[in-house]
Structure 1
Amino acid sequence: MQLDHDPACKVAFPVIDLHGGRALLSDNSQRRSQVASEIVAAGKEFGFFQVVSHGVGDDAVQAFRAAAAAFFALPAEEKQPYCSYDMSKRFRLATSTSYDGGETRYWRDYVKFSCYPASDDNIRSWPSKPAEFAPRLVEYCEAVQELAQTLLGLVAEGLGLDSGFFAGEHSSGDTNMSINYYPPCPDPAVTMGLPAHCDRYLLTLLTQADVAGLQARYGGRWLLVCPVPGAFVVNFGHQMEFITNGLLACVEHRAVTNSSTVRMSVATHVQPTDGCLIKPAPELVDEATHPAKYREFLFSEFLEAYDAADASREDALEPFKTHHD
């Protein structure tokens, strides 16, 4: 593990080498154990880290990012059929530039959709233009899904759980994607890209190319997550905090704008099935020293509470706390 010390980014989030991904890590148990320990340590300290040599081919990453950029570059009339604020839509394009956030204005276009598995219903909802969007998306998502399962196995091992603990219902809900497109902003001082929030999911993997803009809260400050060539930024969502009994907390993050350069982030969100029972892992609970901080609940129940909390971390967690001192 190395630390990113670029002073321009004012951040020192861990950068973890996965040594080529699942296959190579599986061939070396000592190396795998070391990487698992680094991931858990980074999660406990920062809640955010970056992974390199992760096994997702750069060709797949760049090909899909190019296809996504080409979609945003389409004429307005060709994108219009996808415009919607209806969150039940399988694929929707929207903007937050008209969102009234009180004193803060927002500067972002985005698409949100279900990206994995590539079911017939999902594929039918994806745009037909550019023609390369759908095939590049399938290739990208399959690779990222394998990376996500590798990371979840390593997290489990680093916590002393069975390596397959997060497989099955904990991570087999439809994987969602958010592609955030931030055009150059005339006055970044009065706008945000995204407000402060925590993810509702289990795990998020994000590419941000070479344009900085993601900030994570650490020690009461907002720190810029400096881009690392070829890296995925990884952060844990609320479900990971519940399941690990608070050991791996979800961390607030936000996006800032700039006046000169387009920034596009591609975030892939791995989540449980709606009917998955969420509770602290029994192995991480000890009634004498580490009592359960959260009660049992269905993931679908949390989704309702999250929407009602309006991006407040504490309001989203409160209904599920056991209130142990």
Structure 2
Amino acid sequence: MASVSANTTTTDDVDVKSSDLASHNTELNGDKSEYSKEKYHDGEISLQDFMLPEDDHINIPDDAFDPNNSSIPVIDLYNPNRNLLLCQMIQAAESLGFFFVTNHGICADLIQRLRNHLCRFFNLPMDVKLKARRGLSPGMCGFVPGSPVFLASRWWAESLQLDWDETRMRNVLLGIFPVDAEFQEFRPKVWAYQTTFRKQLPTGGERGTMRFNFYPTCPCSDKVWGLIAHRDPCMLTILQQDSVGGLQIQTNGQWLGVATVPFSLVVNVGDMLKAMSNGRFQSMLHRVVTNSSKQRLSMAYFCNTTSDAMIGVAPALITKDRPAEYRPFGYAEYSCMPFHPSDLTSIHEYRPHRLDSYKIMPTDSVSE
């Protein structure tokens, strides 16, 4: 049976073929191939260019939450009953694919100081932030003035992505901050936060990726999306969000606003874990709406496999009553599939889940 490597590599940044990008960009945008805050800052595009058609306008505002987060489990990791914790996480992964964890061991002071530094960074002038643009140095480190996956997507967002290499991370930050007292504090705070996941997660390894997402205030928050609906292609995503609402998930065909739980982490299942669990764990659609009066900041850690790993259903989960739902496939093959953001058509008409391409039909067979 094919297996998955325990190491990790770049995540959530889908490797899209340039030919696919060009054709989809032309289909959607005509002669426009990039919707980014850089283009907006330079006056090449306007706020209206980020707006979606009227039928796609936001029908659930950023402050509309599920009452008491009743649908999203909050799991207290301080509970000494480890079997109970495991059962709670499995149940949450199977039913919704999302859950909160509290008492996770990351100091609230570290989180708050890191947020403060990131707010300072994202509020710098655009030309300063672009000194650390992704692509200026090796690896996936750097600032992205729009969607880090597909710049033709109309994301009202910016991001700073840092990988597992401390030297690359330091060089990116040096492109923005002088070697002053604040920089000396910022760099170790970022490294400490990322190292927590690298040490604790069995699939975290040395190559987990951090992405800090920033959603500026938007004058037309009912017409512009922060992040279009999508599923994460990675194993797991672990998100720390501030007190500003905006994250929404789809469950039972309905969109649900996710209220914030102070200093908690939001954990969600990605496509790779859904395949490995034989479809038991759910990789759910989620999105981010914008806010007309408040900036929003989130910190995401992506756990994934190496690009040469083979993904397959865990043998223990294949039974006579529940045969394998997915054939083995390479992660590189999966990540190179043409990427179709849901907003290439309508946000109400989602393209088939990419993972469905690997589903085993009743007439198929798979070797174990």
State the Cα distance separating 1:122 from its structure 2 match.
4.4
Counterpart residue type for residue 211 of structure 1: V
Counterpart of 1:18 in structure 2 is 77
State the Cα distance separating 1:309 from its structure 2 match.
4.0
Aligned pair partner of 2:158 in 106, 109, 127: 109
CA deviations on 1:23-59 (whole Å, 9 max, x unpaired) are: xx6xx4xx00000000111111111110001111112
Aligned pair partner of 2:187 in 113, 127, 134: 134
Q: Secondary structure at the match of 1:251?
A: coil
Counterpart residue type for residue 137 of structure 1: V
CA deviations on 1:54-113 (whole Å, 9 max, x unpaired) are: 111112211222221121122333212223579975223223399655xxx531122223
Contact 1:207–1:231 (8 Å) recurs in 2: yes
Counterparts of 1:159-174 in structure 2, within 5 Å, are 167=202, 170-172=203-205, 174=207
Q: Secondary structure at the match of 2:336?
A: helix
Counterpart of 2:51 in structure 1 is none
Q: How far apart are the structure 1 equivalents of 2:251 and 2:236? A: 19
Q: Does 2:194 match 1:145? A: no
Q: Does 2:126 match 1:76? A: yes
> Given the superposition, is the C-alpha separation of residues 273 and 89 from structure 1 closer, same or farther in structure 2, using an over 3 Å criterion?
closer
Counterpart of 2:295 in structure 1 is 262
> Given the superposition, is the C-alpha separation of residues 254 and 88 from structure 1 closer, same or farther in structure 2, using an over 3 Å criterion?
farther
Q: Does 2:82 match 1:32? A: yes
Counterparts of 1:90-109 in structure 2, within 5 Å, are 90-96=140-146, 101=153, 105-109=154-158
Counterpart residue type for residue 15 of structure 1: V
State the Cα distance separating 1:318 from its structure 2 match.
2.6
Give the number of the structure whose residues are more often strand, by fraction. Answer: 1
Counterpart residue type for residue 314 of structure 2: A
Contact 1:203–1:236 (8 Å) recurs in 2: yes
Contact 1:127–1:133 (8 Å) recurs in 2: no
Aligned pair partner of 2:231 in 175, 198, 217: 198
- What percent identity do the matched residue pairs reach? 29
Q: Does 2:316 match 1:316? A: no
What TM-score, normalized to structure 1?
Answer: 0.79
Q: How far apart are the structure 1 equivalents of 2:257 and 2:137? A: 29
> Given the superposition, is the C-alpha separation of residues 310 and 183 from structure 1 closer, same or farther in structure 2, using an over 3 Å criterion?
closer
Q: Which has the larger radius of gyration?
A: 2
> Given the superposition, is the C-alpha separation of residues 219 and 195 from structure 1 closer, same or farther in structure 2, using an over 3 Å criterion?
same
Q: How far apart are the structure 2 equivalents of 1:316 and 1:263? A: 29
CA deviations on 1:179-216 (whole Å, 9 max, x unpaired) are: 11111110111100000001111111111111110001
Aligned pair partner of 1:217 in 243, 250, 269: 250
Q: Secondary structure at the match of 1:239?
A: helix
Q: Secondary structure at the match of 2:128?
A: helix
> Given the superposition, is the C-alpha separation of residues 127 and 204 from structure 1 closer, same or farther in structure 2, using an over 3 Å criterion?
farther
Q: Which 5+ residue runs of structure 1 have no aligned equivalent? A: 1-6, 20-24, 150-166
Greater alpha carbon shift after TM alignment, 138-147 vs 273-282: 138-147
Q: What is the number of equivalent residue pairs in this alignment?
A: 283
Counterpart residue type for residue 339 of structure 2: A
Contact 2:95–2:282 (8 Å) recurs in 1: no
Counterpart residue type for residue 332 of structure 2: S
CA deviations on 1:156-182 (whole Å, 9 max, x unpaired) are: xxxxxxxxxxx3xx5436211221111
| Higher relative contact order, structure no. (Cα contacts within 8 Å, ≥ 6 residues apart) | 2
Contact 1:216–1:223 (8 Å) recurs in 2: yes
Q: How far apart are the structure 2 equivalents of 1:214 and 1:111? A: 19
State the Cα distance separating 1:313 from its structure 2 match.
6.8
Q: How far apart are the structure 2 equivalents of 1:314 and 1:280? A: 21
What TM-score, normalized to structure 2?
Answer: 0.70
Counterpart of 1:54 in structure 2 is 104
Q: Which 5+ residue runs of structure 2 have no aligned equivalent? A: 1-62, 343-349, 364-368
